[in-house]
């Protein structure tokens, strides 16, 4: 089951003690369905249970004279979707009167019957059941409502301000999309609609991602430091071998002999590890100082060799 379907399951199974709150969710489910008017009243969804909730909620609240058809169809990819249709015009008129949409012109969203914040949150939950979807937060943060027209989209963004979220919107193939991409706003909206457990899951994923990114940054830093150590060690070994090949270990001052041999024998060691391995342990700074003296000696030997080569006839 997708994250979006899990969210809708949570919203469908909320237990509203107040009938006014249940009415608000049904109102949102109807108003944000594919069609809501005297000529057509239709919900289209990929979730059969949402289609059945649409029908059951209407019959439970209002009671109709005719039927609500719930039919399954297949899209071009052979994926099922369901259409719940209020079949009789007199029933459609009854529903419009019940929710206060019998005026001419019909209001975009009539919230005159929505008196509390709990009712408003339930209304938005119904809207999400009708036209909402959400990407798994493990992949990305994206929650959206796909509504039939621009006026309805504007109305929805104004309502969502009550949840302290500010969705953006854009047209898409004849519809309008109001969407959120901020994880904090998505978490707040889920909590407000009544899906707090999933809201906390969004926060858990955000924390996990933050920790994972921090670990990756530390690992990348460690890899960079390791690469730097390896490169520096390779240069040091090359320089020391040159000194040993041309002058021998005995030519070095006593305090440099052990560190020179230790570096050649252990190119993978860090400066700290080299210092700890000495017969008389040194700090990282002390090791670095002695290796620098060996490097200076190498430079002097190379320059001397070049002068001699230039003086040759």
Report the CATH number that the domain containing residue 146 is assigned in CATH.
3.10.28.10
pLDDT at residue number 218: 56
One domain for residues 234 and 179:
no
For residue 200, being part of any structural domain is answered with no
Alpha-carbon torsion angle 43, 131, 149, 120, nearest 10: 100
Report how far residue 313's alpha carbon sits from residue 311's, in angstroms, rounded to the nearest whole number.
Answer: 6
> What's the mean pLDDT in 221-241?
75
Q: What is the pTM of this model?
A: 0.66
Token pair, residue 30, equals 């109807």
One domain for residues 259 and 155:
no
> What's the mean pLDDT in 148-172?
90
For residue 206, being part of any structural domain is answered with no
Report how far residue 143's alpha carbon sits from residue 211's, in angstroms, rounded to the nearest whole number.
Answer: 23
pLDDT at residue number 176: 93
Report the range of poorest mean pLDDT among 89-98, 108-117, 126-135.
108-117
How many domains is the chain built from?
A: 2
One domain for residues 170 and 25:
yes
One domain for residues 186 and 224:
no
One domain for residues 8 and 146:
yes
End-to-end Cα distance, the chain: 85
> What's the mean pLDDT in 185-211?
72
Report how far residue 109's alpha carbon sits from residue 100's, in angstroms, rounded to the nearest whole number.
Answer: 9
Q: Can you give the residue range of the structural domain that contains 226?
A: 219-306
Q: Is the pLDDT of residue 157 over 70?
A: yes
Report how far residue 96's alpha carbon sits from residue 114's, in angstroms, rounded to the nearest whole number.
Answer: 15
pLDDT at residue number 5: 86
Q: Where are the beta strands (DSSP E) in 35-136?
A: 35-36, 41-45, 68-74, 80-86, 132-134
Neighbours of 68 (CB within 10 A): 20
Report how far residue 127's alpha carbon sits from residue 24's, in angstroms, rounded to the nearest whole number.
Answer: 10
For residue 262, being part of any structural domain is answered with yes
For residue 209, being part of any structural domain is answered with no
The owner of tokens 């230790």 is 262
One domain for residues 12 and 123:
yes
Q: Is the pLDDT of residue 214 over 80?
A: no
The pLDDT confidence band at residue 23, using thresholds 50, 70 and 90, is very high
pLDDT at residue number 224: 65
Q: How far is CA 265 from the centre of its chain?
A: 49
Rg of the chain's alpha carbons, rounded to an integer? 36
Given the DSSP bridges, would you call strands 41-45 and 168-172 parallel, antiparallel or unpaired? unpaired
For residue 311, being part of any structural domain is answered with no
Report how far residue 55's alpha carbon sits from residue 67's, in angstroms, rounded to the nearest whole number.
Answer: 9
Report how far residue 69's alpha carbon sits from residue 93's, in angstroms, rounded to the nearest whole number.
Answer: 17
Report how far residue 11's alpha carbon sits from residue 195's, in angstroms, rounded to the nearest whole number.
Answer: 7
One domain for residues 144 and 93:
yes
DSSP-assigned letters across all residues of 221-238: HHHHHHHHHHHHHHHHHH
One domain for residues 36 and 78:
yes
List, for residues 36-54, the tens digit of each pLDDT value: 999 999 999 999 999 999 9
One domain for residues 106 and 17:
yes
Provide the CB-side half-sphere exposure for 306 (13 A, CA). Answer: 6
pLDDT at residue number 223: 62
Average per-residue pLDDT in the chain?
A: 86
For residue 214, being part of any structural domain is answered with no
One domain for residues 161 and 233:
no
């Amino acid at each position: 089951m997708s994250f979006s379907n899990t969210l809708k399951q949570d919203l469908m199974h909320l237990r509203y003690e107040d009938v006014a709150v249940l009415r608000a969710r049904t109102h949102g489910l109807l108003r944000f369905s594919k069609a809501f008017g005297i000529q057509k009243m239709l919900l289209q969804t990929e979730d059969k249970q949402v289609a059945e909730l649409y029908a059951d909620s209407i019959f439970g609240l209002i009671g109709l004279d005719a039927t609500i058809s719930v039919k399954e169809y297949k899209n071009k990819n052979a994926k099922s979707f369901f259409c719940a249709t209020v079949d009789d015009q007199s029933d459609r008129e009854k529903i419009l009167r019940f929710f206060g949409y019998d005026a001419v012109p019909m209001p975009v969203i009539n919230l005159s019957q929505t008196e509390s914040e709990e009712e408003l949150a339930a209304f938005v939950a119904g809207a999400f059941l009708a036209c909402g979807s959400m990407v798994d937060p493990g992949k990305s943060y994206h929650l959206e409502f796909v509504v039939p027209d621009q006026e309805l989209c504007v109305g929805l963004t104004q309502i969502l301000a009550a949840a302290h979220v500010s969705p953006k919107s854009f047209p898409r193939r004849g519809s309008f999309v109001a969407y959120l991409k901020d994880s904090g706003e998505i978490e707040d909206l889920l909590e407000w609609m009544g899906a707090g457990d999933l809201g906390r899951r969004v926060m858990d994923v955000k924390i996990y991602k933050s920790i994972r990114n921090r670990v990756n940054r530390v690992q990348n830093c460690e890899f960079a430091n390791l690469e730097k150590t390896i490169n520096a060690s390779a240069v040091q070994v090359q320089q020391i071998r040159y000194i040993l090949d041309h002058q021998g270990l005995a030519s070095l001052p006593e305090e440099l002999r052990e560190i020179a041999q230790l570096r050649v024998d252990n190119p993978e060691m860090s400066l700290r590890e080299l210092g700890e391995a000495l017969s008389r342990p040194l700090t990282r700074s002390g090791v670095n100082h002695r290796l620098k003296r060996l490097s200076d000696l190498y430079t002097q030997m190379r320059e001397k060799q070049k002068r001699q080569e230039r003086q040759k006839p």
